[in-house]
């Protein structure tokens, strides 16, 4: 029941945000042979989108929606790793993309339909501010 509720919450947000996902976000693809238990709903901001992750995150937080970055993105840009000896191979483009354009909101089984609707309304409200 725990996994089913997470999936139900994910699918609910995915359906309600479908129009936004096509324009502003890259949708998360779930493969047919996989049965995920999503702990969060991921917002992957498209490269050509006018959305800035920090602005959207602040908007969500100001509206009572807790957010998290996707596991640190490029760890070499995190303060804790500044003096750690390391070797870099390539430009770390995808790591930077993760850091700058991906965040998520929780969708654990305790999240109510009312709270999911608040996420949907807040997302659409934020997007409406971009058109001004």
CB 123 within 8 Å of CB 25? no
Max mean pLDDT range (27-41, 67-81, 108-122):
108-122
pTM tops 0.85: yes
Distances in whole angstroms, Cα of residue 129 to Cα of each of 41, 49, 85:
22, 13, 43
Using an 8 Å Cβ cutoff, are 28 and 11 in contact?
Answer: no
**49 vs 30, higher pLDDT:** 49
132 band by pLDDT with thresholds 50, 70 and 90: low
- For 63-69, what is the mean pLDDT? 95
| Closest C-alpha to 103, from 30, 50, 36, 51 | 51
């Amino acid at each position: 029941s725990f996994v089913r509720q997470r999936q139900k919450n994910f699918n609910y947000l995915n359906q309600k945000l479908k129009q936004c996902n096509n324009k502003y976000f890259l949708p998360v693809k779930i493969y047919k042979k996989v049965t995920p238990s999503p702990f969060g709903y991921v917002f992957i901001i498209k490269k050509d989108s006018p959305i800035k992750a920090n602005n959207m995150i602040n908007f969500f937080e100001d509206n009572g929606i807790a957010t998290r970055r996707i596991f640190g993105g490029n760890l070499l840009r995190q303060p804790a790793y500044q003096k750690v000896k390391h070797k870099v191979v390539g430009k770390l483009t995808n790591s930077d993309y993760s850091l700058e354009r991906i965040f998520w909101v929780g969708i654990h089984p305790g999240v109510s339909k009312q709270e999911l609707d608040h996420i949907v309304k807040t997302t659409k409200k934020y997007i409406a501010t971009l058109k001004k």
